[in-house]
Structure 1
Amino acid sequence: MNQPLYRLAAFSTDPTKGNPTGVWIGDRLPDAETMQAIAAEVGYSETAFIVPTSGETRTIRYYSPLAEVSFCGHATIASAVMLGHLSGTGIYQLDTRAGRVPVKVYRANGQIQATLTSVEPRHKPASEGLVNDVLKLLGWSFDELDPTLPPTVAYGGVWHLVLAAHSQDRLNRLDYDFDKLAALMAREGVTTLQLVFRETNDLFHSRNPFPLGGVVEDPATGAAAAALGGYLRDAQLMDVPGKFLIRQGEAMGRLSLLQVEVPAQGGIIVAGTAVEIT
Structure 2
Amino acid sequence: MKTYFVDSFTSEKFKGNPAAVCLPDTELDSKTMQSIATEIGFSETAFIKQISDNIYRIRFFSPKTEIPLCGHATLASSKVLFDTTTLENIKFINFDNVELYIEKVGNKIKMQFPVYDTEETEVPQKLIDALGISEVLNKRYGPKNKIILLEIKSASELASLKPDFTALINSHTGISGVLVTAVSDNATFDFEYRYFWPWSGSNEDPVTGGVQTFLTKYWVEKLNKTKLNAFQSSLRTGTMSVELVDDKVFILGEAVKVLEGQFVL
Interval of TM-score (by shorter of Structure 1 and Structure 2): 0.7 to 0.9
Aligned AA (2:243) = E
Give the SS at the match of 1:80. helix
Q: Are residue 268 (structure 1) and residue 253 (structure 2) matched?
A: no
List aligned pairs for 1:173-252, cutoff 5 A: 173-184=160-171, 187-189=173-175, 191-199=176-184, 203-233=190-220, 236-239=221-224, 242-248=226-232, 250-252=233-235
List aligned pairs for 1:1-278, cutoff 5 A: 3-52=1-50, 55-108=53-106, 111=107, 113-127=108-122, 130-141=123-134, 144-145=135-136, 147=137, 150-154=138-142, 158-184=145-171, 187-189=173-175, 191-199=176-184, 203-233=190-220, 236-239=221-224, 242-248=226-232, 250-252=233-235, 254-263=236-245, 265-278=246-259
| Pair 1:54–1:275, CA change in 2 (3 A) | farther
Whether the 8 Å contact between 1:117 and 1:268 is mirrored in structure 2 is yes
Q: Alignment RMSD, CA only?
A: 2.2
Whether the 8 Å contact between 1:126 and 1:153 is mirrored in structure 2 is yes
**TM-score scaled to structure 2, two decimals?**
0.88
Whether the 8 Å contact between 1:81 and 1:105 is mirrored in structure 2 is no
| Pair 1:40–1:162, CA change in 2 (3 A) | same
Runs of 4+ in 1 over 4 A off after TM superposition: none
Give the SS at the match of 2:210. helix
Structure showing the higher helix proportion among its residues: 1
- TM-aligned CA deviation for residue 276 of structure 1: 0.6
Deviates more, 1:84-93 or 1:198-207: 198-207
| Pair 1:183–1:271, CA change in 2 (3 A) | farther
Whether the 8 Å contact between 1:80 and 1:103 is mirrored in structure 2 is no
CA distance in 2, matches of 1:25, 1:54: 15
Number of aligned positions between the proteins: 257
Whether the 8 Å contact between 2:115 and 2:213 is mirrored in structure 1 is no
CA distance in 2, matches of 1:232, 1:245: 10
CA distance in 1, matches of 2:168, 2:76: 28
CA distance in 1, matches of 2:94, 2:178: 21
- TM-aligned CA deviation for residue 193 of structure 1: 1.5
Whether the 8 Å contact between 1:54 and 1:87 is mirrored in structure 2 is no
CA distance in 2, matches of 1:162, 1:20: 23
Aligned AA (1:245) = N
CA distance in 1, matches of 2:132, 2:90: 43
| Pair 1:28–1:183, CA change in 2 (3 A) | farther
- TM-aligned CA deviation for residue 50 of structure 1: 0.6
Ranges in structure 1 where 5+ consecutive residues have no aligned partner: none
Aligned AA (1:69) = I
Give aligned-pair identity as a percent.
Answer: 26
- TM-aligned CA deviation for residue 102 of structure 1: 2.6
CA distance in 1, matches of 2:21, 2:3: 6
**1:150-202 CA-partner distances (Å, limit 9, x unpaired):** 211136x62321111211232122223324433555x233x222111202695
- TM-aligned CA deviation for residue 107 of structure 1: 4.6
Aligned AA (1:90) = E
Whether the 8 Å contact between 2:207 and 2:234 is mirrored in structure 1 is no
Ranges in structure 2 where 5+ consecutive residues have no aligned partner: 260-265
Whether the 8 Å contact between 2:115 and 2:214 is mirrored in structure 1 is no
**1:24-81 CA-partner distances (Å, limit 9, x unpaired):** 1134431111111111111110000011276211111000011111111110111111
CA distance in 1, matches of 2:170, 2:86: 42
CA distance in 1, matches of 2:255, 2:230: 16
